[in-house]
Amino acid sequence: MSRFTTALFAGIVVACAGVATFTLTPAAAASDADAAAVKQATATCKAQVKEEAQYHEMSLWARHKAVKKCVAEALAHH
């Protein structure tokens, strides 16, 4: 391989490693209390949306969006 190709490949590997490190660090920093709050909010919202879906015809996509919105609102008040 030429020096240019080797340098280009090494740069790409370093850039990918830097991006992976940057994106994984905030996720690893979440505390157990935050994880428990998200789990509790998700369970509550799933039950709420399931109850609502019995009375109103909702697609799977609509239920998914409703759960995500409910969890976001619940965690905003947390």
* Whether pLDDT at 9 is above 80: no
- Of 40, 35, 46, 37, nearest to 68 by C-alpha is 46
* Whether pLDDT at 24 is above 50: no
Q: DSSP for 13-72, please give it.
A: HHHHHHHHHHHHHHHHT--HHHHHHHHHHHHHHHHHHHHHHHHS---HHHHHHHHHHHHH
Percent of the chain exceeding pLDDT 90 equals 46
- Of 64, 38, 40, nearest to 50 by C-alpha is 64
